[in-house]
Each structure stands twice: as structure tokens, then as C-alpha cells.
Amino acid sequence: MQYTLVLCNVVSAQVISGQNENTWMALAVSILISAVIGLINGFGVYFLKIPAMIMTLATGSAVWGIAYIYCNGAPKGKTSEILSFIANGKIGGIINGASLIWMLLSVAVILVLKFTVFGRTVYAVGVNRESANYSGINVPATLIGIYVAASVLAGISGFILLGYTGTSYLSTGESYNMDSIAAVVVGGTSIMGGSGSYVGTIAGVGIMIIINSLMTVLNMAESGKQMVQGLIIIVLLVIVYGRKDRE
């Protein structure tokens, strides 16, 4: 999803820097672009039976290429005052807008997964698609819906990051792939699907922030941080899936 974030970041900057400086048009374009990318990923995974990791990596490479061609390798444009305030300004003098948006989205995701039919179907499809299909669940719609939702959230993140940094970059969110995988695994969500919660992912994010902060205090190089994150993921996967095999 990093490359979806990059494309929406680059496109948003140029839309905002246009003649009318339309911030909300940039948001709408970002949502549209990311939704199309999510549809392509979901279609490829379900109907073409392409493994999810391969499909998303291939799509990501293509999307990054589109971003590069769109800006000719040199992103242009800048943020708007309202987007900069959303990303950096304090709401009520207490919390910035980006954090508030994340909190609201987090509550929405938790409620949807825990208390709605769609949330239960997501877990059912994650456990076993064939069984979910026999149970009357619309597996293609659920699976594609998940990819679209994830992609749209990535697109919105790219849009908000434009406000945070003030301009667009082709390297925006470069480290987020490993960080997000580590946070999900540390938070107890199975990468095979069917188990886990967003509350656990939030806890995983907190733990990874503490670990990264500690490594920064110790003046560890970026390469060392990446190695530690990779080792954490490997150790946790060995512990979790080794325990499942014994059970």
C-alpha cells in the first residue's frame, strides 16, 4: 500500500497547486485512485487466483511507475493552508487533526469488525474462504471490499502526509511497509487471516514506537533498526506458528 500512498501524495500536490487550489478535489481524486487500485488487487487475488503478496507487490511496482511518469521523476506542487492545518494544527489546542482523524477511523474500524455482519464475514473469509462461501457469504464482495478499504485508507494517508510535510516525495512512506507488518505481527494478528484485532494492532504500533525510540536513543543506524524489526517479526512468527503446529 506504500505505493498507493505515494501516487496519491504526488497527485494531490499537483491538484492542490492548480489554478483553483482545490483541497477537497485532491482528496476526492486520491480516494478514487486508491479505490481503483484496491479493486485491481482484489480482482487479481480472487478471480485470477494470484497470491496476495505477489499481486500487491506487482501492482505496487506498477503504481510507483505511474507516479514517476506522472511527475517525470520530480514531484511538484505543495500543500494548502487547510490541509496543513488538518495535518499539523491543534484542535482545541490539545490534539492535531491527523491524530484525531486516526482516532476516529480506529474507532470506526473496531466497531465495524466487532459489531457488524461485514466484520464477522471478514474473519470468516480469513479463516476459510470455501467454508465461508458454503455458509452463504459473498466471498468476492467481502474480499474485494477489504482490498478497496485498505487501499483507500492508504490514499487518504498519502493525502494527509502532504499536509504534514508540505510537499510531495516519491519516497514518501518508504519505511512504512516493514513498520506496518511489524506492528500487525506484534499486535497478534495472524498474517494467514482469521484472527486478530485492530486493538491489538494499535498496541503493536505503540510497542514498535517504544522500540524504535529506544534504538534512536542508542544511536542505532537505520540499517540496524531494520535488522531488529526483521528479527522481531521472525521470532514472533516462529513462536506463534510453532505453537499452532503443536496444538
Q: Give the per-residue pLDDT at 43.
A: 96
Domain match, 86 and 204 both: no
Q: Give the per-residue pLDDT at 180.
A: 83
- CA–CA distance, 216 with 205 (Å, rounded to integer): 16
- CA–CA distance, 203 with 185 (Å, rounded to integer): 11
68 contacts 46 by C-beta, under 8 angstroms: no
What type of residue is 84?
A: S
**Helix or strand holding residue 150 (H, E):** helix 139-165
Domain match, 225 and 184 both: yes
Sign of the C-alpha dihedral computed for residues 177, 181, 182 and 184 taken in this order: positive
Domain match, 154 and 124 both: yes
Q: Give the per-residue pLDDT at 246.
A: 52
14 contacts 146 by C-beta, under 8 angstroms: no
Domain match, 141 and 83 both: yes
In b/e form, how buried is each residue of 106-121, taking b as 16+ CB within 10 angstroms? eeebbeebeeeeeeeb
Of 174, 205, 225, the position where a domain reaches its end is 174
Domain match, 121 and 224 both: no
Taking the CA atoms of residue 193, residue 196, residue 199 and residue 202 in that order, the dihedral angle to the nearest 10 degrees is -60
Whole-model pTM? 0.87
Q: Which domain holds residue 68?
A: 2-174
Domain match, 109 and 219 both: no
Q: Give the per-residue pLDDT at 118.
A: 92
Sign of the C-alpha dihedral computed for residues 126, 128, 134 and 140 taken in this order: positive
Domain match, 51 and 149 both: yes
Domain match, 211 and 166 both: no
Of 157, 174, 191, the position where a domain reaches its end is 174
Residue 95, SS3? strand
Rg (CA), the chain: 19
Domain count, the chain: 2
Sequential pLDDT tens for the chain (247 residues): 788 999 999 999 999 986 567 899 999 999 999 999 999 999 999 999 999 989 999 999 999 999 999 988 888 888 888 999 888 888 777 788 888 898 999 999 999 999 999 999 999 998 888 899 998 999 999 999 999 999 999 999 999 999 988 888 888 877 777 778 888 888 888 777 777 888 988 998 888 888 888 888 888 887 888 888 788 878 877 776 655 555 5
Domain match, 187 and 70 both: no
Of 174, 202, 221, the position where a domain reaches its end is 174
Q: Which three cell numbers stand for residue 111?
A: 466497531
Where are the extended beta strands (E) located within the chain?
Answer: 90-91, 95-96
Domain match, 130 and 210 both: no
Domain match, 25 and 131 both: yes
Domain match, 163 and 187 both: no
